Structure 1
Amino acid sequence: MNRSYWIVALSLTLAALSLQCAGPRETARLVATPPLVTEAETTAVVRVQRVGKASWIGRDTVRSGRFDTGRLWTFEAPPLDYWEATYGFRPDSAWLTHARMGALRLVFESGRCSGAFVSLYGLVVTNHHCTWESLDLIDRPGEALLEEGFYAATLSEERRLPGLYAEQLLEARDVTAQIARGLEEIRDDVARERLRNRRLERLKQQLEAEVRSRDTTLHVEIVPLYYGARYTAYIWRRYYDVRLVMTPELRVGYFGGDYDNFTYPRYSLDISFLRIYGADGQPLKSPWYFRWNREGAQPGQLVFAIGHPGATRRHMTVSQLEFERDYTLPQRLRLLRRRAQILERYLHQQPDSADIYGLRSVYFALKNTIKATEGQLQGLRDPYLLARKQAAERALRDSMMANDSLRNRYGNVFAQLEALQRSKAAAAPQTAAFQFFGTSTLLSSHILLRALFGYAHDVMRRRGAFAARLAELRREALKIRNWPDSVEVGYITARLEELRDYLGPQHPSVQRLLGDRTPAEVARDLVARTALKDSAAFARLLQEGYLQSGDASVPVIEVLGPLYFTLGQQLDQFEARERFLNARLAALRFAVYGRTVPPDGTGTLRIADGRIEGYAYNGTQAPAFTTFYGMYDRFYSFRGRSGWSLPARWLTPSEAFERATPLNLVASTDISGGSSGSALIDQELRLVGVIFDSNLEGLAGSYIYMPDRGMRAVAVDSRGVLEALRDLYGADRLVLELTAGKLVSDEAEAETLMEMN
């Protein structure tokens, strides 16, 4: 249960903010760097036997690959020697600076995406699905931008996206010494965590004051890498004025729907164009942009993915992965599927109302997460994957045992992690009962979420919390939107059923909540009588004193609140212990391999190398590129069935439209959640694609990176984007900016210039 998102967890001492744990300072590398190998050389020889109904792999025959932990390189430590030895390409500092400054991190209410500058005038490309949430916020009466798409024919029509801002990485500083010094010597996990957090907060404040004295748009983020074996302070420039330029219809931006999601071959125009404006209200001028490659890439070509991959778990031990397989992922799937069923029913019954509440994009997000989680679970149930992880773990242990210093310092870390997993397993039912409770607006009842905020606010006020902290809590609480009654009933029913099923019907708290009623009866009664389903009423109760209001939700949260925060204390102890042990394990790995192994994904900027290449699948070969012909084949094969239907403009395109143009492609570049919208660039810093997905084989990439097993990043081809903009959307103004670098104020002027050329 990740409670770090909501400020409730920070404000109450009962549940401290979860941050990745600190670790010791960097130790000297004691073992020689592994030799450079190609992906072909990493292919393992696997012997599979049948034992009863189970498959068994002879694990002594499985070899780990050098890049099993990935190729998500940081810009502060690019693997120049490896690139030169593998590809014959060694970029200089100017190339790396341009690649870094051309990339953007897009931050919105419920998540993050990547993007990139693609013109001198602040034009940004990202994914269509990265703008779903924003489209719900800018719909005007009579519009349905998610369904119908949007194109600003003039500069003045570009529409500002509320709640979305962009960040550009300016600088990275190693601050390991300031944070990690002496932490390993502290034996008490909670005391160690508190000291680390105090250091983090103090250093962040110091750096914020320093950089903002120069520029008020700068922001500091201190991120633990290698689970705290290193700490880096990232300095970002933040842009708040982000406007929508163009986004296609949902039917092409999400072509294939949930059926085709995380698959390949793929046929989707999953792109959106935004523009960043400066403080003067004019388009931002930035020399750091990726020129649009009109010729695209070629099979086998070296490319780089520049983006912000989210959390990966490739440095986990086998015992930790087995816990994920047996507890975390199955419990998560149960919750996700039940919430998706509730929303699916509402979307079917009330489609117009669903769009008003933005529930269609919520449903898509849930379905996306379900499919990703299913792929992760399938990966962890693959004995080959675990055998390969075990081979890597065994190699690390052997290196440790061969060195007296490492053995004496880290020899017990694997056993301690195994023991911790057993303790977590004992608490797994309680954890599952409150999974995502109070942490996600997508997965929690908004009534119960508001009740939790009200409970926390009143407890804090009674304990004398500072006015600033209370005000911050109220601001977060008032961001929660209203939801339809029937969705609330469904979500509350599901939560009460989970409490009953995981804690047991005889648990005292379950008895207090349900008595002799069913979860559905309690949920219907609560939704009928509470004022918390209305944002204005909630704001008033929060100000006047929620717990004394007599609202129907108060007896419910007075049962759930203490139970949730008490459980939080126990889980915080587990998490603090695990972060500390992970940090020790990372320090061991860092001592053995140094920076030849990249850190896990952290949502910060990375550069990943790879090639444009297809792969073997389903008894045949997946091509490196797909074309518009494939999209039309899917459309006619399914006769326009939902998921594969096309807008009218796509059914009667102009004669100039060339269906043989590449539309999507695959590359062996490493990605993770958060990579959506990443620029795929060539050696000349030209954009050849925009990453929007992984294939099914790549879903296990959260735990291991195996391009030799068909893991691929899926991207929209730069050629397909231009073809669609020019011959289907008539977006000459946008095409002219991408291809000729000219910013024109309206479509009429662009058409004139295009005709002249």
Structure 2
Amino acid sequence: MNIFNKKGLAIALLFTVSTIHFSAKAPDEGMFPLSELNRAGLKAAGLKINEKDIYNPGKVGLVDALVQISGCTGSFVSGKGLIVTNHHCAFSAVQLASTPEKDYLKNGFVANSFEQEVQAKGLTIRITDSYEDVSNQVLAAVANITDPIQRINLIKQKREELAATAQKKDPTIKAEVSEMFIGKTYVLFRYKTIEDVRLVYIPRRDIGEFGGETDNWVWPRHTGDFSFVRAYVAPDGSSAKYAKENVPYQPKKFLKVNPKGVDENDFVFILGYPGKTFRHRPTQYIEYQQKFLLPYTAELYDFQNRQMDLAGKNDKATELALATRIKRNANVMKNYRGKLKGLRNIDLISSKRKEDEDLSTFISSKIDLQTKYGSLMENIDKYYKTIFEDAQKELWLNNIYSSTKLLSAARYINTFKDELAKYKSAKDAEDFFKLNIEQVKRDVAVLYESYNQSVDESIGARMFGDGYELQGLNSIRSIQDKKFSNRAQAENYITNLIKASKLNSLQSLNDNILSSSKQLLGYRDELLDFQRTLESEVQIFGQEQQRREGELNKLMGDYVAVKEIYQAKNFIPDANSTLRLTYGNIKGYTPVDATYMKPFTTIKGILEKGNDDNPEFAYPDAIKSAWLSRNFGAYEKKDLKDVPVNILYNMDTTGGNSGSPIMNAYGELIGVNFDRSYDATINDFAWNESYSRSIGVDIRYVLWIADKIDNAQFIIKEMGI
């Protein structure tokens, strides 16, 4: 949510909710921070360039070609700000640029000149400028603090203070203090931000999303998951919002594309911004995931998508409006089900429990450790018993606003009303209203981009029915207090609120409610009233979650510290959306008995899948024509006698690595990472060379599609091939 301007006083919306050294666990496992490249064993693994060519503080390296693009990774591939990332990373921007008449999602988009490029709404770019360890400053602020809430608040306050100080020194950067190890290490990152991003070349959906959800998280794969966008800045080089006079950004570094690609067993590495991993957590954390969060979320998202599919079945505009939400849900849903399968297959809970038992024995065997950590494992167990007791309530409260869009709109409107109500005079209230109303309308409009009344009614009914059935410590008081006699009454209650509210139409909201401060303050409906009751419950539970977060912060800091002593080594920190490097080899694997999955797929496989009746395996006729005529150009892989489509490798990746450049031993771009195999969805919790495989689109397929199918030869020329 944005903040409201109060003539210089910002009013935030109150919504809840020295160098570091790490050594590798194994030669090819790990998401290495930039400071640890000299410990990664890159040269021994096969790197042909100097490690300083990748990262050398104060000088230009390959890392300067990397960008974080709205939750994904991308890389500059020309000196004119051209960026390659994944099709699914640009998906939401393509959706917002599409109309039933100009359906760029379905038909793709090719801009043959700068003037033809289209604004990529919602996409922003961040470039890592520098970083420094600030652990001592953060932890010093809580050195003598035992109260969990006070501890977590002071840590948050110190992190924000350090970031604000860095931004004051250099107003051109955005600073963030990232928690590398929970409760233990903190790093200040400085980022350059680019706000003007434009669509350049987007393949059509039956290329960029070939195989759809059928193939998602699956190998063999045949997906052209790539897109090209461009970064723009103001004429003076500063960051600026979208404007006609802006010019292409000139990066310090861009990657050289190697159209010859790679072979099996070749050394490869990835630079990117992996999201979050949780490998340094105790047994109980894995139990929570397996018993509560993963099955609940997967099942809820499955239900939501069925409702959205129904709503868009016979309405193209609705289908487009809901496309991004459906895609994100489906991706998470299949990922979580893959995690569940992986957790059960390798019985990670048992192996984690054995690790923790051994750690407990080790603590007991050392008097100094017993004094400092003697109650640690017992305290962790007590902590998670509390978490398990009301896990269902937590999940319901954490999902109610994102599930029921109109409740989110009501939350925003009520917050704005509360700010207006603080003014005693009508004139002051109207002045405040006029100062903020345009921003309010823009923010609210975003909520309605993926809103559909019938979808909200059906999903809201599901959520309220579930809430009605939660009992004991998991009771949802705002629902129980209504004294419904059965589930159906709870379901009907929310659907009737949605039907009756003027919030169910953006036009009605703007015309009848947001037209003046008097209209807004005077408007009442039961949906707004219920949201206030719900918000009170959310806030109360949020306070308890904050207390638990503070408690966990201390417990996990101690847990990692004593594990380091026990294992006589430091750890690579869990991924946290900061820039990392991982490396490995182009390599197949054996997911089940008597099978071997080769590390390359080809265009022939696209045609074979296309023989299926599954509409997700439809592909452009031009692909078949080009393949039959063997119009492979320079992109053929001779030993395959075909163009390679996707590649498989044993690098350590997770969410956020989508769009990461795959580079060869010389630092040349040979592919774009986009997925993991189904068995490797468990990477967030554990990594194993036997089953952890990631998937990328081979650069030869990207170039072949651009050249032979989409007539986007300008892309190839701009990249200097």
Cα distance, 1:562 vs. partner?
A: 1.7
Query: Which residue of the partner structure matches residue 161 of structure 2?
Result: 202
Matched letter for residue 446 of structure 2: K
For the structure 1 residues 558 and 187, does the alpha-carbon distance in structure 2 shift closer, same or farther, using more than 3 Å as the test? same
Query: Which residue of the partner structure matches residue 347 of structure 1?
Result: 312
User: What is the rounded CA distance, in whole Å, between the counterparts of 2:413 and 2:645 in structure 1?
Assistant: 50
Matched, 1:244 2:199: yes
Matched, 1:369 2:332: yes
User: What is the rounded CA distance, in whole Å, between the counterparts of 2:589 and 2:2 in structure 1?
Assistant: 42
For the structure 1 residues 365 and 6, does the alpha-carbon distance in structure 2 shift closer, same or farther, using more than 3 Å as the test? farther
User: What is the rounded CA distance, in whole Å, between the counterparts of 2:19 and 2:365 in structure 1?
Assistant: 20
Query: Which residue of the partner structure matches residue 607 of structure 2?
Result: 632
Which sits farther off after the overlay, 585-594 or 626-635? 585-594
Q: Residues 278-315 of structure 1, C-alpha deviation per residue, up to 9 Å, x if partnerless?
A: 32233222241111111111211111111111111111
User: What is the rounded CA distance, in whole Å, between the counterparts of 1:147 and 1:594 in structure 2?
Assistant: 54
Pairing partner for 1:92 from 51, 61, 69: 51
Query: Which residue of the partner structure matches residue 577 of structure 1?
Result: 551
User: What is the rounded CA distance, in whole Å, between the counterparts of 1:669 and 1:250 in structure 2?
Assistant: 27
For the structure 1 residues 105 and 739, does the alpha-carbon distance in structure 2 shift closer, same or farther, using more than 3 Å as the test? same
Pairing partner for 1:721 from 699, 702, 712: 702
Cα distance, 1:738 vs. partner?
A: 2.3
For the structure 1 residues 325 and 453, does the alpha-carbon distance in structure 2 shift closer, same or farther, using more than 3 Å as the test? same
For the structure 1 residues 421 and 459, does the alpha-carbon distance in structure 2 shift closer, same or farther, using more than 3 Å as the test? farther
User: What is the rounded CA distance, in whole Å, between the counterparts of 1:529 and 1:591 in structure 2?
Assistant: 62
Matched letter for residue 265 of structure 2: G
Cα distance, 1:157 vs. partner?
A: 0.9
Matched letter for residue 629 of structure 1: K
Query: Which residue of the partner structure matches residue 308 of structure 1?
Result: 273
For the 8 Å contact 2:49–2:667, the answer to whether it is kept is: no
For the structure 1 residues 328 and 237, does the alpha-carbon distance in structure 2 shift closer, same or farther, using more than 3 Å as the test? same
For the structure 1 residues 389 and 563, does the alpha-carbon distance in structure 2 shift closer, same or farther, using more than 3 Å as the test? same
For the structure 1 residues 182 and 219, does the alpha-carbon distance in structure 2 shift closer, same or farther, using more than 3 Å as the test? closer
Matched, 1:479 2:443: no
User: What is the rounded CA distance, in whole Å, between the counterparts of 2:33 and 2:542 in structure 1?
Assistant: 33
Pairing partner for 1:597 from 571, 578, 595: 571
Taking the TM superposition and a 5 Å limit, the aligned residue runs for 1:18-417 are 67=29, 71-80=30-39, 82-87=41-46, 91-97=50-56, 98-107=61-70, 112-140=71-99, 142-181=101-140, 183-212=142-171, 216=172, 218-280=173-235, 281-348=246-313, 350-356=314-320, 358-394=321-357, 396-397=359-360, 400-401=363-364, 403-417=366-380
For the structure 1 residues 342 and 393, does the alpha-carbon distance in structure 2 shift closer, same or farther, using more than 3 Å as the test? same
Matched, 1:434 2:397: yes
> Residue 122 of structure 2 aligns to a residue in which SS?
coil
Taking the TM superposition and a 5 Å limit, the aligned residue runs for 1:515-534 are 515=484, 518-534=489-505
Which sits farther off after the overlay, 602-611 or 655-664? 655-664
Cα distance, 1:245 vs. partner?
A: 1.1
Cα distance, 1:81 vs. partner?
A: 5.5
Matched letter for residue 618 of structure 2: S
For the 8 Å contact 1:446–1:533, the answer to whether it is kept is: no
User: What is the rounded CA distance, in whole Å, between the counterparts of 1:7 and 1:381 in structure 2?
Assistant: 44
For the 8 Å contact 1:12–1:460, the answer to whether it is kept is: no
Matched letter for residue 698 of structure 2: D
User: What is the rounded CA distance, in whole Å, between the counterparts of 2:88 and 2:271 in structure 1?
Assistant: 18
Q: Which runs of 5+ in 1 are unaligned?
A: 18-24, 40-66, 741-757
Q: Residues 142-163 of structure 1, C-alpha deviation per residue, up to 9 Å, x if partnerless?
A: 1111111111122321212122
For the 8 Å contact 1:512–1:559, the answer to whether it is kept is: no
Matched letter for residue 575 of structure 2: G
> Residue 270 of structure 2 aligns to a residue in which SS?
strand
For the 8 Å contact 2:47–2:665, the answer to whether it is kept is: no
> Residue 185 of structure 1 aligns to a residue in which SS?
coil
For the 8 Å contact 1:513–1:556, the answer to whether it is kept is: no
Matched, 1:688 2:688: no
Matched letter for residue 600 of structure 2: F
Query: Which residue of the partner structure matches residue 510 of structure 1?
Result: 479
Pairing partner for 2:631 from 657, 663, 686: 657
> Residue 399 of structure 2 aligns to a residue in which SS?
coil
For the structure 1 residues 512 and 404, does the alpha-carbon distance in structure 2 shift closer, same or farther, using more than 3 Å as the test? closer
Query: Which residue of the partner structure matches residue 712 of structure 2?
Result: 731
User: What is the rounded CA distance, in whole Å, between the counterparts of 1:336 and 1:716 in structure 2?
Assistant: 27
> Residue 264 of structure 1 aligns to a residue in which SS?
coil
Pairing partner for 1:646 from 604, 616, 619: 619
Query: Which residue of the partner structure matches residue 20 of structure 1?
Result: none
For the 8 Å contact 2:411–2:531, the answer to whether it is kept is: yes
> Residue 271 of structure 2 aligns to a residue in which SS?
strand
User: What is the rounded CA distance, in whole Å, between the counterparts of 2:621 and 2:482 in structure 1?
Assistant: 53
For the 8 Å contact 2:160–2:176, the answer to whether it is kept is: no
For the 8 Å contact 1:125–1:677, the answer to whether it is kept is: yes
Cα distance, 1:83 vs. partner?
A: 2.9
Query: Which residue of the partner structure matches residue 658 of structure 2?
Result: 676
User: What is the rounded CA distance, in whole Å, between the counterparts of 2:462 and 2:149 in structure 1?
Assistant: 34
For the 8 Å contact 2:650–2:693, the answer to whether it is kept is: yes
For the 8 Å contact 2:265–2:585, the answer to whether it is kept is: yes
For the 8 Å contact 2:396–2:467, the answer to whether it is kept is: yes
Matched, 1:559 2:533: yes
Count residues in correspondence. Answer: 676
Per the normalisation by structure 1, the TM-score is: 0.83
Cα distance, 1:376 vs. partner?
A: 1.4
For the structure 1 residues 398 and 463, does the alpha-carbon distance in structure 2 shift closer, same or farther, using more than 3 Å as the test? farther
Matched letter for residue 623 of structure 2: W
For the 8 Å contact 2:622–2:709, the answer to whether it is kept is: yes
User: What is the rounded CA distance, in whole Å, between the counterparts of 2:305 and 2:99 in structure 1?
Assistant: 27
Matched letter for residue 625 of structure 2: T
For the 8 Å contact 1:320–1:417, the answer to whether it is kept is: no
Matched letter for residue 326 of structure 1: K
Which sits farther off after the overlay, 531-540 or 563-572? 531-540
Which sits farther off after the overlay, 192-201 or 172-181? 192-201
User: What is the rounded CA distance, in whole Å, between the counterparts of 1:528 and 1:327 in structure 2?
Assistant: 32
For the structure 1 residues 520 and 423, does the alpha-carbon distance in structure 2 shift closer, same or farther, using more than 3 Å as the test? closer
Q: Residues 315-337 of structure 1, C-alpha deviation per residue, up to 9 Å, x if partnerless?
A: 11012211221122222223222
User: What is the rounded CA distance, in whole Å, between the counterparts of 2:375 and 2:519 in structure 1?
Assistant: 51
Which sits farther off after the overlay, 410-419 or 661-670? 410-419
Q: Residues 660-712 of structure 1, C-alpha deviation per residue, up to 9 Å, x if partnerless?
A: 1111001111111111101111121101110011100101111001122x211
Per the normalisation by structure 2, the TM-score is: 0.86
For the 8 Å contact 2:152–2:549, the answer to whether it is kept is: no
User: What is the rounded CA distance, in whole Å, between the counterparts of 2:461 and 2:476 in structure 1?
Assistant: 17
User: What is the rounded CA distance, in whole Å, between the counterparts of 1:198 and 1:464 in structure 2?
Assistant: 29
Q: Residues 152-209 of structure 1, C-alpha deviation per residue, up to 9 Å, x if partnerless?
A: 1223212121221111111011111111115253110011122212212221111111
Q: Residues 34-75 of structure 1, C-alpha deviation per residue, up to 9 Å, x if partnerless?
A: 9x7567xxxxxxxxxxxxxxxxxxxxxxxxxxx5xxx11111
For the structure 1 residues 470 and 241, does the alpha-carbon distance in structure 2 shift closer, same or farther, using more than 3 Å as the test? closer
> Residue 187 of structure 1 aligns to a residue in which SS?
coil
Cα distance, 1:514 vs. partner?
A: 6.9
Q: Residues 198-227 of structure 1, C-alpha deviation per residue, up to 9 Å, x if partnerless?
A: 212221111111111xxx3x2111101011
Measured on the aligned residues, the alpha-carbon RMSD in Å equals 3.1
Percentage identity across aligned positions? 21
